[in-house]
Amino acid sequence: MFKIIEKEWLNANTFRMVVDAPMVSRSCMPGQFVIVRTDEEGERIPLTICDYDRDAHTVTIVVQTIGAGTIEMSKKEAGEYLADFVGPLGNPSDLCTDPIEEVRKKKIVFVAGGLGTAPVYCQVKWLHEHGITADVIVGARSKDILILEDEMKAVGNLYITTDDGSYGRTGNVTVCMEDLVTKEGKEYDHCVCIGPMIMMKFLSLLTKKLNIHTVVSMNPIMVDGTGMCGACRVKVGNDTKFACVHGPEFDAEKIDWDEAMRRSAMYKPEEAAALEKAKEGV
């Protein structure tokens, strides 16, 4: 059992949990994920790590209530327990494992959409702690669903963009990225993009045109998180990879985006049925 130390709602359907997880916090790195179960009958949910504190033995996750499993998890409060909190799984970000002097030479920009802001924050914070400041573009449909704004400002150069223009710049992250490079003279040679599949696809098409090497996280298609179910297969160049085992981060230019997006929608009917049961209390 894993004790919930803190719980905070970040917006109407997204919450942050700080969990006592000594073994995970001891060795986890930015880019990795955990598998969480609310109770012994609960769904296995893969969640990328938002933050960790090795001294306090804690790991922070950010969860959006979009399905039956996450709705059940949202009912837990500080002082209660999660049945499973397994990790770290997957591979750390290359930025955190490559020689630090090589990383310092890069002009880095992060692009985050929605829940992708959480794992992006973990990487940006790690770089900040190692004396590297990156630019960060965070996009949302509107101001009221933005998360981790203050935290991100403390560790990176933040650009906020909203689809409806209610806060920051107007438009999506792709528009913001193009404006920064073509109109404002920004230069980047490395981009990390984490967010909805459609966002990552179109951002990577833009960065290819701009000649910016881009890495994306394929965590949106993960299900079981161990490679056993095969649901997170993704075509990367000529190879078939599993997002949970070989990733979750891959070279964006090599991904077969059409196949990946089809796979991300594979379990929509089952997810919708489970959500309806959860709402009905079945």
- Please report the pLDDT score of residue 247 as a whole number: 67
Domain extents in the chain = 2-89, 94-217
Residue 27 CA to residue 234 CA, distance in Å, equals 27
What pLDDT is stored for residue 241 in this prediction? Answer: 78
Q: Would you state the pLDDT for residue 34?
A: 93
| Whole-number pLDDT of residue 201 | 92
Quick one: pLDDT at residue 275?
46
What CATH number is given for 94-217 in this structure? 3.40.50.80
Residue 219 has a pLDDT of: 79
pLDDT at position 282 is: 42
Q: What is the mean pLDDT of the chain?
A: 88
Max distance between CA atoms of the chain, in angstroms, equals 56
| Cα–Cα dist 245/222, whole Å | 10
Please give the chain's pLDDT, 282 residues, in tens: 899 999 999 999 999 999 999 999 999 999 999 999 999 888 888 899 999 999 999 999 999 998 888 999 999 999 999 999 998 998 999 999 999 999 999 999 999 998 999 999 999 999 999 999 999 999 999 999 999 999 999 999 999 999 999 898 999 999 999 999 999 999 999 999 999 888 999 999 999 999 999 999 887 766 666 666 666 667 777 888 777 777 688 888 888 877 777 766 655 555 544 445 555 554
Q: What is the pLDDT of residue 277?
A: 58
> In the sheet where 213-217 sits, what is the strand order?
169-170, 157-162, 135-140, 108-113, 190-194, 213-217, 249-251
Predicted pLDDT at 41: 84
Place of tokens 């179109």: 202
* Superfamily of domain covering 2-89: Translation factors (2.40.30.10)
